[in-house]
Amino acid sequence: MRNSLGRELPEKIGGNIVRPYTGEASPAEPVPAVTRRTVVRNRGENKLLGSLREAIRAVGLRDGMTISFHHSFREGDQVVGQVMEAIRAEGIKGLRFAPSAVVNLRDFSLADCVRDGAIDRVEASGIRGELGDRLLDGSVSLAQPAILRPHGARPRAIESGELTIDVAFIAASAADERGNCTGQIGKNPCGSLGYSFVDARNAGKVVVVTDTLVDYPCLPASIGQELVDYVVQVEQVGDPAKIGAGAARLTKNPRDLAIAQRVADVIAASGRFREGFSFQTGAGAISIACTKFLSQRMAEREVKASFALGGATAAIIDMYDAGQIRAVECSQSFDAVAAKAIWDRPGVVEIDNAAYSNAFSRGSFLDRLDFGVLGALEVDVDFNVNILTGASGRMMGGLGGGPDVAAGAAVSIVALPIVRGRIPSVVERVAACCTPGETVACVVTQAGVALNPRHRRYEELRADLRQAGIKLTTIEALQRLAESITGRPQEIPRTDRPAVVVEYRDGTVVDVLREFA
């Protein structure tokens, strides 16, 4: 079976019939929302427990259940490891591990948790690092292929009962003993808890894990006591200095700076670059540099933005402080500066990841986004984007909100170099299809800008860029140029064993990544 993107899919995975992706505007029936049972808690009952193990016993975690976490500390996270150690100590097996994303933990091996049977299923927006690598090379395997969903699809899956979370462990940089908690204050702030709201509302049990216990009531309270079963204090929940590591890093690479400059040119050339426009630049190396150049263009043209969306960075906060952005809607905080900014800046606000990106609701911020800048590992001549696997076959990234932003933004811009080292980035066919090409308006490389003739804003964007004197090339020309530099790399041979299923916003399957041979 092939989906509308031409990706080959099995008819069934793990006994379940695969629903192939059929197009961005595929209709979807309203689904009944499923939520947890309301509970009564006596007002005298103690929620503050002495250890994670005690909490695991108190919530009744059992073999086969589903647990969740947020990834707002990114590579600085210290809660996943501590909770998994406690789960191991309790001898619990066969869990479905369903964090908002699996990040590359430096000091803890999630692959070992699969090897020893503590985890046997994974559902997340990405599986960056060791666990992802081991799933792709087949050296560890799950009971079912891992399911990757973009950020906006996770709330839909949870609310519809497709992903039922039994116990959510929520890392908070401050909490009171009744469970009011936040990521904004305390010793180790991670900023927005945007990913965790849907878990807090829907999980069977909610455990808040904090390293800073504050007097009641915790102020601010991002997540309220009415949703929290237990609170556990640990030594440290995460290292804010490492939030910026991994995906969210700055660059001094001149090539990347040139690409970022060009992205800013494209934005500034658009008729949508006007007072009150909105943008999301994201956390990739090029994206962050792009924010800086965009700020310069805005100053030159005396244009201010109504809002910046998604993961906030120090560069975005600088723009807010300079009066260039009226509202910063943070579903995530990409560095320690952005993490702290929510608390003392009235226009820098924490938003629910569902409000940011869920297409299965009455609306999201993406519905009003003018420009979305997206990083990529590869893009192909159909504008399909790979944000997961590198040419080496390693798991280099996660879906994040990429597919959501591409579909949501009026103008979605994929920014990437045409080659990285000896590897082409503009290719004939992406190794992993993550974001459907029809949702990508434009590809920006150091070698030129290519517009997607199949994108709904093609005519508009072409006219704008031509008027601004920006020379356009074609995606095919970029692909040929890339191949002329690097040659055509050999494809890594794969088995037919599905290791990772890439789902779209609506739960249809965009691609299946198979184990390497």
Contact of 413 with 263, CB cutoff 8 Å: yes
Binds a copy of itself (CB under 8 A): choice among 97, 293, 320, 365: 365
- Cis-peptide into 424, omega within 30 deg: no
Binds a copy of itself (CB under 8 A): choice among 15, 17, 38, 421: 38
Residues 6+ apart with CB under 8 A from 30: none
Instruction: Kindly tell me which of 17 and 40 has the beta carbon lying closer to a copy of itself.
Output: 40
Instruction: Kindly tell me which of 298 and 465 has the beta carbon lying closer to a copy of itself.
Output: 298
**SS3 state of residue 146:** strand
Contact of 132 with 125, CB cutoff 8 Å: no
Instruction: Kindly tell me which of 336 and 351 has the beta carbon lying closer to a copy of itself.
Output: 351
Binds a copy of itself (CB under 8 A): choice among 346, 421, 469, 493: 346
Distance of CA 170 to the CA centre of its chain: 17
- Compute the least distance from the CB of residue 366 to a copy of itself, in Å: 7
Based on the shown chain and the rule CB under 8 A, indicate whether residue 349 belongs to the binding site for a copy of itself.
yes
Binds a copy of itself (CB under 8 A): choice among 20, 64, 224, 390: 224
Based on the shown chain and the rule CB under 8 A, indicate whether residue 43 belongs to the binding site for a copy of itself.
yes
Binds a copy of itself (CB under 8 A): choice among 63, 367, 476, 491: 367
Based on the shown chain and the rule CB under 8 A, indicate whether residue 303 belongs to the binding site for a copy of itself.
no
Instruction: Kindly tell me which of 97 and 504 has the beta carbon lying closer to a copy of itself.
Output: 504
Instruction: Kindly tell me which of 59 and 95 has the beta carbon lying closer to a copy of itself.
Output: 59
Based on the shown chain and the rule CB under 8 A, indicate whether residue 412 belongs to the binding site for a copy of itself.
no
- Give whole-number Cα distances, 105 to 148, 176, 248, in Å: 18, 27, 15
Structure tokens at 210: 């904090």
Residues 6+ apart with CB under 8 A from 330: 191, 192, 194, 310, 311, 312, 338, 342, 348, 349, 350, 351
Place of tokens 């260039």: 324
- Compute the least distance from the CB of residue 32 to a copy of itself, in Å: 5
Instruction: Kindly tell me which of 35 and 296 has the beta carbon lying closer to a copy of itself.
Output: 35
Binds a copy of itself (CB under 8 A): choice among 60, 217, 271, 453: 217
Contact of 150 with 404, CB cutoff 8 Å: yes
Angle (nearest 5°) at CA 470 between 465 and 474: 85
Instruction: Kindly tell me which of 78 and 225 has the beta carbon lying closer to a copy of itself.
Output: 225
Provide the angle, in degrees to the nearest 10, between the axes of the packed helices 314-321 and 336-344.
40
**SS3 state of residue 112:** helix
Binding residues for a copy of itself, how many (CB under 8 A)?
Answer: 61
Contact of 347 with 306, CB cutoff 8 Å: no
Based on the shown chain and the rule CB under 8 A, indicate whether residue 517 belongs to the binding site for a copy of itself.
no
H helical segments located in 64-143: 79-89, 110-115, 130-136
Binds a copy of itself (CB under 8 A): choice among 11, 16, 17, 40: 40
Give the containing element (helix H, strand E) for 406: helix 402-408
Listed residue (503, 205, 182) closest to 360, CA to CA? 503
The pair phi, psi for residue 316, each rounded to 5°, is: -70, -40
Contact of 183 with 221, CB cutoff 8 Å: no
Based on the shown chain and the rule CB under 8 A, indicate whether residue 394 belongs to the binding site for a copy of itself.
no
- Compute the least distance from the CB of residue 282 to a copy of itself, in Å: 19
Contact of 112 with 86, CB cutoff 8 Å: no
Binds a copy of itself (CB under 8 A): choice among 51, 141, 160, 253: 160
Contact of 245 with 74, CB cutoff 8 Å: yes
User: Hey, which residues between 118 and 157 contact a copy of itself (CB under 8 A)?
Assistant: 156
Instruction: Kindly tell me which of 219 and 492 has the beta carbon lying closer to a copy of itself.
Output: 219
Structure tokens at 407: 């579909």
Based on the shown chain and the rule CB under 8 A, indicate whether residue 23 belongs to the binding site for a copy of itself.
no
**Nearest-angstrom CA–CA distance, 251 and 416:** 13
Based on the shown chain and the rule CB under 8 A, indicate whether residue 276 belongs to the binding site for a copy of itself.
yes
The pair phi, psi for residue 409, each rounded to 5°, is: -70, 145
Based on the shown chain and the rule CB under 8 A, indicate whether residue 175 belongs to the binding site for a copy of itself.
no
- Compute the least distance from the CB of residue 78 to a copy of itself, in Å: 25
Based on the shown chain and the rule CB under 8 A, indicate whether residue 347 belongs to the binding site for a copy of itself.
yes
Based on the shown chain and the rule CB under 8 A, indicate whether residue 159 belongs to the binding site for a copy of itself.
yes
Based on the shown chain and the rule CB under 8 A, indicate whether residue 50 belongs to the binding site for a copy of itself.
no
Based on the shown chain and the rule CB under 8 A, indicate whether residue 215 belongs to the binding site for a copy of itself.
yes
Query: For residue 230, what are the β-bridge partners?
Result: 207
Contact window for a copy of itself (CB under 8 A) among 4-12, 115-123, 360-368, 496-504: 360-368
Based on the shown chain and the rule CB under 8 A, indicate whether residue 344 belongs to the binding site for a copy of itself.
yes
Instruction: Kindly tell me which of 18 and 328 has the beta carbon lying closer to a copy of itself.
Output: 328
Based on the shown chain and the rule CB under 8 A, indicate whether residue 219 belongs to the binding site for a copy of itself.
yes
Listed residue (135, 51, 40) closest to 89, CA to CA? 51
Rule CB under 8 A: which residues touch a copy of itself?
27-28, 30-41, 43, 47, 156, 159-160, 178-179, 206, 215-217, 219-221, 224-229, 276, 306-307, 326-327, 329, 343-344, 346-347, 349, 351-352, 354-355, 358-368, 408
